[in-house]
Amino acid sequence: MSLTLRKVGPEKKLALIVNVPLGVYLATGIGAKVDEGEQFNLIWQTCTQQGCQAALSLDEAKTKAMKSGEKLLVGFKGRPDAKAVTIAASLKGVTAGLKALGVD
Protein backbone atom coordinates (compact mmCIF):
# COMPACT_ATOMS: atom_id res chain seq x y z
CA MET A 1 0.00 0.00 0.00
CA SER A 2 1.15 3.53 -0.66
CA LEU A 3 -0.33 6.83 0.49
CA THR A 4 0.01 10.24 -1.11
CA LEU A 5 -1.18 13.64 0.05
CA ARG A 6 -1.22 16.21 -2.73
CA LYS A 7 -3.13 19.13 -4.18
CA VAL A 8 -5.43 18.23 -7.08
CA GLY A 9 -7.70 19.96 -9.55
CA PRO A 10 -7.96 23.59 -10.56
CA GLU A 11 -8.85 24.59 -7.00
CA LYS A 12 -5.76 22.77 -5.65
CA LYS A 13 -7.70 20.93 -2.94
CA LEU A 14 -5.77 18.57 -0.70
CA ALA A 15 -6.46 14.92 -1.50
CA LEU A 16 -5.51 11.60 0.05
CA ILE A 17 -4.64 9.01 -2.60
CA VAL A 18 -4.30 5.35 -1.59
CA ASN A 19 -2.82 2.65 -3.81
CA VAL A 20 -3.43 -1.01 -2.94
CA PRO A 21 -2.50 -4.25 -4.72
CA LEU A 22 -4.64 -5.83 -7.41
CA GLY A 23 -7.12 -8.40 -6.17
CA VAL A 24 -9.01 -6.23 -3.68
CA TYR A 25 -12.78 -6.67 -3.59
CA LEU A 26 -14.03 -3.36 -4.97
CA ALA A 27 -17.72 -3.72 -4.05
CA THR A 28 -17.15 -3.33 -0.30
CA GLY A 29 -15.15 -0.16 -0.81
CA ILE A 30 -12.13 1.12 1.07
CA GLY A 31 -12.24 3.00 4.34
CA ALA A 32 -9.84 4.90 6.53
CA LYS A 33 -9.67 6.62 9.89
CA VAL A 34 -7.15 8.57 11.89
CA ASP A 35 -6.35 6.85 15.19
CA GLU A 36 -9.71 5.99 16.81
CA GLY A 37 -11.61 8.71 14.94
CA GLU A 38 -14.61 8.39 12.68
CA GLN A 39 -14.22 6.20 9.60
CA PHE A 40 -14.44 7.83 6.18
CA ASN A 41 -14.73 6.14 2.81
CA LEU A 42 -12.49 6.78 -0.16
CA ILE A 43 -13.71 6.60 -3.75
CA TRP A 44 -12.24 4.02 -6.10
CA GLN A 45 -10.61 5.80 -9.05
CA THR A 46 -8.98 3.16 -11.25
CA CYS A 47 -7.15 -0.16 -11.36
CA THR A 48 -4.05 -0.65 -13.50
CA GLN A 49 -1.31 -3.28 -13.68
CA GLN A 50 0.31 -1.54 -10.70
CA GLY A 51 -2.77 -1.84 -8.44
CA CYS A 52 -5.99 -0.07 -7.54
CA GLN A 53 -6.27 3.56 -6.53
CA ALA A 54 -8.80 5.30 -4.30
CA ALA A 55 -8.91 8.97 -3.36
CA LEU A 56 -10.75 11.53 -1.29
CA SER A 57 -10.62 15.31 -1.11
CA LEU A 58 -9.76 16.21 2.49
CA ASP A 59 -11.79 18.81 4.33
CA GLU A 60 -10.36 20.94 7.12
CA ALA A 61 -11.35 18.48 9.87
CA LYS A 62 -9.68 15.48 8.19
CA THR A 63 -6.58 17.52 7.42
CA LYS A 64 -6.33 18.65 11.04
CA ALA A 65 -6.79 15.07 12.25
CA MET A 66 -4.01 13.83 9.96
CA LYS A 67 -1.68 16.57 11.20
CA SER A 68 -2.29 15.77 14.87
CA GLY A 69 -2.82 12.01 14.61
CA GLU A 70 -0.36 9.18 15.10
CA LYS A 71 -1.58 6.70 12.49
CA LEU A 72 -3.90 6.35 9.53
CA LEU A 73 -5.74 3.03 9.41
CA VAL A 74 -6.81 1.87 5.94
CA GLY A 75 -9.13 -1.11 5.51
CA PHE A 76 -10.32 -3.14 2.52
CA LYS A 77 -11.34 -6.71 1.68
CA GLY A 78 -9.75 -9.28 -0.60
CA ARG A 79 -13.07 -11.05 -1.23
CA PRO A 80 -16.70 -10.60 -0.13
CA ASP A 81 -16.62 -13.16 2.70
CA ALA A 82 -13.19 -12.20 4.04
CA LYS A 83 -12.38 -10.14 7.10
CA ALA A 84 -11.14 -6.67 6.27
CA VAL A 85 -7.41 -6.18 5.97
CA THR A 86 -6.38 -3.15 8.02
CA ILE A 87 -3.02 -1.50 7.46
CA ALA A 88 -1.66 1.19 9.78
CA ALA A 89 0.49 3.97 8.36
CA SER A 90 2.43 6.44 10.47
CA LEU A 91 1.42 10.09 10.20
CA LYS A 92 4.79 11.25 11.48
CA GLY A 93 6.02 14.06 9.25
CA VAL A 94 2.62 14.91 7.76
CA THR A 95 2.55 18.37 9.34
CA ALA A 96 5.97 19.23 7.90
CA GLY A 97 5.03 17.81 4.51
CA LEU A 98 1.80 19.78 4.35
CA LYS A 99 3.63 22.92 5.37
CA ALA A 100 6.01 22.37 2.45
CA LEU A 101 2.93 22.13 0.18
CA GLY A 102 1.62 25.39 1.59
CA VAL A 103 -1.20 23.77 3.57
CA ASP A 104 -1.58 25.31 7.02
pLDDT above 90 (res 101)? no
What distance in Å separates the CA atoms of residue 82 and residue 73, rounded to the nearest whole number?
A: 18
- Ranges of each domain in the chain: 2-101
pLDDT digits (tens, 9 = 90+) for 37-84: 999 999 999 999 999 999 999 999 999 999 999 999 999 999 999 999
Q: Which 3-state string (H, E, C) describes the chain?
A: CEEEEEEECCCCEEEEEEEECCCCCHHHCEEEEECCCCCEEEEEEEEECCEEEEEEECCHHHHHHHHHCCEEEEEECCCCCCCCEEEEEECCCHHHHHHHHCCC
pLDDT band at 103 (very low <50, low <70, confident <90, very high): confident
Q: Does the pTM of the predicted model rise above 0.85?
A: yes
Q: Domain 2-101 carries which CATH code?
A: 2.60.40.1880
**Residues above pLDDT 90, as percent of the chain:** 93
pLDDT of residue 16: 97
pLDDT band at 98 (very low <50, low <70, confident <90, very high): very high
